[in-house]
Copies of this chain bind each other. A is one copy, B any other.
Amino acid sequence: MARLEDVAKAAGVSRGTVSNVFNRPEVVRPEVRKRVRRAARALGYNGPDPTARLFRGGKVNAIAFIMGGDGALFQVFTNPYGRDLLAGIASVCDEHGAGLALVSDLGREKEWAIRNVIADGFVLQRIEDLAHIEAARNRGLPFVVLDDDPGPDISSVQIDDRDGARQAAEHLVRLGHRRFAITTVLRADPAVLRKRGGDPVFHAPARAKRKLVESSPVEDLRLAGYADALKTVGVSINSVPLVEIVSFNTPAALSGAALLLDQAPETTGVLTMSDVQGLAVLEAARQRKIRVPHDLSIVGFDDNPEAALCDPPLTTVAQPIIEKGRAAARILFEGVQPQKVVLPVKLVVRASTAPPRRSGSTTSGRRTRFR
């Protein structure tokens, strides 16, 4: 493979001149320029080796999106959340004429991708381990964390989880609900999961703050938002039955939903952490012949496409996914100092919520365990 030097020799000029021909053609005399170009063509030389140029301090001209989990790349094109998020990032890349690298840490030591990605900056999905932040910082490249705020000097893009949750709970409160239940999810850290086992855990109402096994900032904020709204009608979040689910997937959500409905049958309004969970509660209710929204109101979170298509369509909190992607990418391209972006969310009311039945009439045979 021809090198800069070979072309220089062939054209009878120095390396520096050939470099200039390719990088700043205007500084070399047209005649020389032509000679160099001819020599380059003759040798099949396509211009400076991108790899060497990069090493010398150049830019990759691409940003990376780093994700975790098996088959992550495929998922990103397949599930609606990932697709929208990436579409947002991609649109900003388009505007800047930059590329977009998708990388997962698949089958490698956790931080491998962070340490080895070749890009000018990167977007980190919700991180589970503070060591990742440390690795990212050591990498010396600009980066943005999504859905989390991992520290004061780190850029992040989040949605207003607390406000979204507050809106959702307030909606139920306004409809007249007073007996709530919540499904949440614990941080998907494999080590914790292994220790804990795969079953959801039911937390009965308590006087004091219940200790949840492990919760991430996003869930904490949403819990806080639920608490805000419930407090306005004198309901303490600690008195609300709560199920902690071990994973983000549907089967886990389903078993959590079943547990919740069985353990807290007097519930009239369920607040969740995702549409997956909301849909799971919907399904569990169907299996138990609990009518939604007549007997039970359910609110999701995220506004996945499925939320609009299920029966009944799910009331949920819509987040601006594309805009989230755009904001993250913009920070990478334009941002100098760390930025914090918090995007607004909006409650989308559909048919899975309604006023509760008149209190006292427990016609559908559901027992009251907590009052």
Chain A residues at the B interface, C-beta cutoff of 8 Å: 1, 44-47, 50-52, 54-55, 60-62, 64, 70-74, 76-78, 83-84, 86-87, 90-91, 93-94, 97, 99-104, 106-108, 111, 113, 115-118, 135, 138-140
If A1-B140, A117-B50 touch, whether A91 touches B103 (CB-CB below 8 Å) is no
Nearest Cβ in chain B — how far from A38, in angstroms? Answer: 15
How many of these chains are in the complex? 2
Beyond contacts A94-B104, A118-B118: 6 other A-B pairs, Cβ-Cβ < 8 A, are A61-B116, A72-B94, A73-B90, A73-B94, A90-B102, A99-B104
Asked if B97 and A106 sit within 8 Å, CB to CB, the answer is yes
**Interchain CB contact under 8 A, A73 and B51:** no
Inter-chain contact A108/B97, CB cutoff 8 Å: yes
Q: Give the complex CA separation of A47 and B204 in angstroms.
A: 48
Check B62 against A74 for contact (C-beta < 8 Å): no
A97: contacting residue among B47, B86, B101, B107, CB under 8 A: B107
CA distance A74 to B325 in the complex (A): 12
Q: Which residues of B contact A115 (CB under 8 A)?
A: 46-47, 50
Partner of A73, one of B100, B111, B135: B100
Q: Which residue of B lies closest to A83 (CB)?
A: B77
A332 to chain B, nearest CB (A): 14
Contact A74 B91 (CB under 8 A): yes
Q: Please state if A138 and B45 are interface contacts (CB–CB under 8 Å).
A: yes
